[in-house]
């Protein structure tokens, strides 16, 4: 079945490929903040962008920025954007200069290396011919962290190290096939609270390093996890500027928020085949994904797999409002993809599931709107099961599985240029991402596919970003959440790996179900860009976790700590062509 499907895909691609392909901005790139700012400050959403379904096409991003830059040069929009905005726009174009109008948008370096490397500011190796283009860049991310109040040092301090290195390549062949690949070798010593998450091993929650797939355990507590991270894809334009087909392995993010109720980049890379279509104001996307089912770490072996089909459609219904619909189904079939779920037509997944297919399905709606050319409001609503009678009865039926997100972004806040504020609230009912068994839950490589907290929580997040000068940026992030905790053998719906068939009770299930835990954290980061894509980061973080039933992670074989868990750490790092490793996800 797989062989036939692969041959069919190859045949289709061979037949339809024509026109210009693209490569995509990395998820987590600061360019998404810039595109968000530009749309909001202009008061108008761009029909050619889809920043609520990352990654964004480099081609679309550059074309949009060039359009805005021309309007600024013609004094049409000159008052809306600061000098720092204009600098950031020029850098975005330079970073993806192959998609500029003249195909040479890169900024030349004043001093190249040996007249061969770094001829332009962004790329170490840059080769552009008539029918071939490629850039190659090194990746380095080295961080040292001082972690205070760590249990293994009895309240003392410890030094943690994070080291990721290797490189990335992107380019195109004949302007018909785009390609990207990234490979990093990682050694990572995790802060105490993340370490507790990574090594937790119970029947309903297995070991996992956030964002990684296969890894080697440290020899001692506090030691380094070792793992490789590799992602890449090829991209074809089936119909010029209308339909793109992408096949590869990587991460995805759906939504406009800090987190997502649909699909986030928290879990590891996953193999995917994606069809993207843009017609008029309509953006339509279908993804076929292979996921790794829940597994117990042990001797090397082929881990079990499951599959997912996802549909995502959005439209700019007015110049200032975008509305969208998302659906996904996760299903486990031994070594085969369910033929019915290959249907690329939206709503078919929901109809199959809600008609009793038994697979794990999510249905969601989302949107955003621009207000007064300064504020952007956004939100998501997600349903897993729905019975009108139970939903409106306030009976607390365990099958009422839903999630809500509401957020706002305020650009140039309080009249201060390049001060951007964002606030977000998320709430998810217990059992929402669980399945009837441990296979079809909404997870990948022992990690949630959506919000890292799983289910049964209320979460508030605030972020302030300030760029006072060209190469200096401050980011302050605060997070607070309340969540129930499953205790003993009782399945209270907070652990999404636990099947909902073993729910502790059918009715009377509250949003915060079980012993109440609270977590409060704050993180300050300062980034200085020494030269293009070379950053020095410095910052500190504070986190306090408390539980009313004193349910805390095990520190050793001697038992548990009966008290609040408090973590304080400071860090200093150097990174080249890499995103900052952030631990403030739970």
Give pLDDT, residue 155.
Answer: 53
Residue spans per domain, the chain: 2-576
Instruction: Evaluate whether 256 touches 407 at the Cβ level (below 8 Å).
Output: yes
pLDDT per residue over 412-442, tens digit each?
Answer: 999 999 999 999 999 999 999 999 888 889 9
List Cα–Cα distances, 239 to 8, 175, 243, 560, in angstroms: 18, 13, 5, 59
Whole-number Å distance between alpha carbons of 83 and 320: 25
Give pLDDT, residue 351.
Answer: 63
Question: Treating both helix axes as pointing N-terminal to C-terminal, what angle do 31-42 and 58-73 enclose, rounded to 10 degrees?
Answer: 50
Torsion-angle region of 288 (φ positive above 0: left; ψ -120 to 50: alpha; else: beta)? beta
Mean per-residue pLDDT over the chain, rounded = 87
Instruction: Evaluate whether 503 touches 431 at the Cβ level (below 8 Å).
Output: yes
Cβ neighbours of residue 385 closer than 8 Å, sequence gap 6 or more: 399, 400, 401
Task: Inform me whether the pLDDT recorded for 163 exceeds 70.
Answer: yes
| Cα-to-chain-centroid distance, residue 293 | 19
Res. 483 pLDDT band, cuts 50 70 90: very high
Give pLDDT, residue 350.
Answer: 63
Whole-number Å distance between alpha carbons of 58 and 26: 10
Give pLDDT, residue 565.
Answer: 79
Instruction: Evaluate whether 450 touches 257 at the Cβ level (below 8 Å).
Output: no
pLDDT per residue over 368-392, tens digit each?
Answer: 999 999 999 999 999 987 777 777 7
Radius of gyration of the chain (CA): 24
Give pLDDT, residue 348.
Answer: 67
DSSP β-bridge partners for residue 161: 144
Task: Inform me whether the pLDDT recorded for 73 exceeds 80.
Answer: yes
Task: Inform me whether the pLDDT recorded for 561 exceeds 60.
Answer: no
pLDDT per residue over 111-145, tens digit each?
Answer: 888 888 888 889 999 999 888 999 999 999 999 99
The enclosing H or E element of 569 equals strand 565-576
With a pLDDT cut of 90, the percent of the chain lying above it is 60
Res. 352 pLDDT band, cuts 50 70 90: low
Give pLDDT, residue 280.
Answer: 84
Q: Which residue has the higher pLDDT, 377 or 348?
A: 377
List Cα–Cα distances, 519 to 406, 453, 458, 467, 547, in angstroms: 20, 11, 11, 29, 9
Whole-number Å distance between alpha carbons of 176 and 13: 11
Task: Inform me whether the pLDDT recorded for 353 exceeds 60.
Answer: no
The mean pLDDT value for 565-576 works out to: 92
The mean pLDDT value for 292-314 works out to: 88
| Cα-to-chain-centroid distance, residue 424 | 16
Whole-number Å distance between alpha carbons of 36 and 312: 20
Give pLDDT, residue 149.
Answer: 66
Give pLDDT, residue 154.
Answer: 53
Give pLDDT, residue 92.
Answer: 95
Give SS3 for 575.
strand
The DSSP secondary-structure symbol of 6 reads H
Predicted model pTM = 0.92
Whole-number Å distance between alpha carbons of 122 and 109: 9
DSSP string, 371-402: ETTTEEEEEEEEEEE--HHHHTTTS--TT-EE
Give pLDDT, residue 177.
Answer: 92
Task: Inform me whether the pLDDT recorded for 366 exceeds 50.
Answer: yes
Task: Inform me whether the pLDDT recorded for 346 exceeds 60.
Answer: yes
Q: Which of 355, 291, 346, 357 is nearest to 314 (CA)?
A: 346
**Residue 311 structure tokens:** 């549909």
Give pLDDT, residue 216.
Answer: 93
Instruction: Identify the CATH number of the domain defined by range 2-576.
Output: 2.40.160.130
Judged by average pLDDT, the poorest of 96-100, 124-128, 157-161, 431-435 is 157-161
pLDDT per residue over 7-65, tens digit each?
Answer: 344 434 444 444 567 899 999 999 999 999 999 999 999 998 988 999 899 999 999 99
Instruction: Using the structure block, give the residue that is written with the tokens 């339809």.
Output: 16
Verify cis geometry, omega within 30 degrees of 0, for the bond prior to 55.
yes
């Amino acid at each position: 079945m797989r062989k036939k499907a692969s041959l069919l895909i190859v045949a289709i691609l061979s037949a339809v490929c024509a026109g210009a392909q693209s490569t995509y901005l990395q998820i987590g790139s600061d360019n998404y903040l810039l595109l968000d700012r530009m749309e909001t400050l202009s008061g108008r959403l761009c029909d050619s962008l889809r920043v609520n379904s990352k990654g964004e096409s480099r081609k679309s991003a550059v074309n949009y920025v060039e359009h805005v830059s021309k309007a600024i040069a013609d004094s049409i929009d000159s008052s809306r954007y600061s000098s720092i905005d204009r600098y950031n726009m020029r850098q975005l174009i330079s970073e993806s200069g192959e998609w500029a109008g003249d195909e040479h948008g890169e900024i030349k370096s004043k001093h190249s290396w040996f007249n061969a490397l770094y001829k332009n500011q962004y790329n170490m190796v840059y080769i552009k011919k008539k029918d071939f283009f490629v850039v190659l860049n090194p990746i380095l991310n080295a961080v040292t962290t001082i972690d205070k109040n760590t249990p293994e040092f009895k309240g003392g301090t410890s030094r943690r190290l994070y080291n990721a290195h290797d490189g990335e390549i992107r380019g195109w062949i004949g302007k018909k096939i785009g390609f990207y690949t990234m490979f990093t070798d990682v050694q990572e010593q995790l802060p105490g609270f993340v370490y507790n998450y990574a090594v937790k091993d119970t029947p309903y929650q297995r070991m996992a390093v956030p964002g990684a797939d296969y890894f080697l355990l440290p020899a001692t507590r506090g030691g380094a996890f070792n793992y490789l991270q590799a992602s890449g894809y090829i991209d074809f334009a089936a119909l010029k500027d209308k339909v793109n087909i992408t096949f590869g392995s990587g991460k995805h993010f759906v939504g406009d928020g800090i987190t997502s109720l649909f699909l986030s980049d928290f879990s590891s890379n996953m193999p995917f085949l994606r069809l993207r279509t843009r017609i008029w104001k309509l953006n339509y996307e279908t993804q076929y994904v292979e996921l790794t089912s829940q597994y117990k770490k042990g001797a090397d072996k082929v881990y079990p797999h499951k599959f997912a089909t996802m549909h995502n459609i959005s439209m700019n219904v007015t110049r200032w409002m975008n509305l969208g619909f998302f659906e996904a189904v996760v299903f486990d079939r031994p070594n085969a993809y369910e033929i019915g779920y290959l249907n690329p037509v939206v709503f078919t997944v929901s109809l199959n599931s809600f008609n009793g297919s038994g697979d794990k399905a999510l249905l969601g709606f989302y949107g955003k709107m621009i207000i007064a050319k300064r504020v952007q409001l956004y939100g998501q609503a997600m349903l897993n099961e729905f019975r009108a009678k139970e939903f409106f009865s306030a009976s607390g039926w365990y099958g009422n599985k839903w999630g809500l997100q509401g957020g706002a972004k305020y650009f140039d806040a309080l009249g201060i240029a390049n001060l951007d504020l964002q606030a977000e609230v998320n709430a998810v009912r217990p059992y929402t991402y669980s399945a009837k068994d441990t296979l079809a839950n909404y997870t990948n490589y022992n990690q949630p596919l959506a919000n890292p907290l799983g289910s049964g929580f209320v979460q508030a997040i605030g972020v302030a970003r300030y760029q006072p000068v060209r190469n200096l940026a401050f980011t302050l992030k605060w997070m607070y959440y309340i969540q129930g905790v499953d205790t003993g053998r009782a399945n209270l719906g907070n652990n999404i790996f636990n099947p909902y068939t073993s729910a502790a009770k059918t009715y009377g299930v509250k949003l915060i179900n079980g012993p109440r835990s609270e977590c409060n954290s704050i993180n300050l980061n300062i980034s200085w860009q020494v030269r293009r894509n070379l950053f020095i980061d410095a910052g500190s973080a504070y986190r306090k976790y408390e539980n009313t039933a004193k349910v805390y992670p095990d520190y050793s074989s001697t038992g548990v700590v009966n008290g609040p868990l408090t973590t304080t750490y400071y860090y200093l790092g150097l990174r080249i062509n890499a995103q900052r490793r952030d631990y403030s996800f739970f």
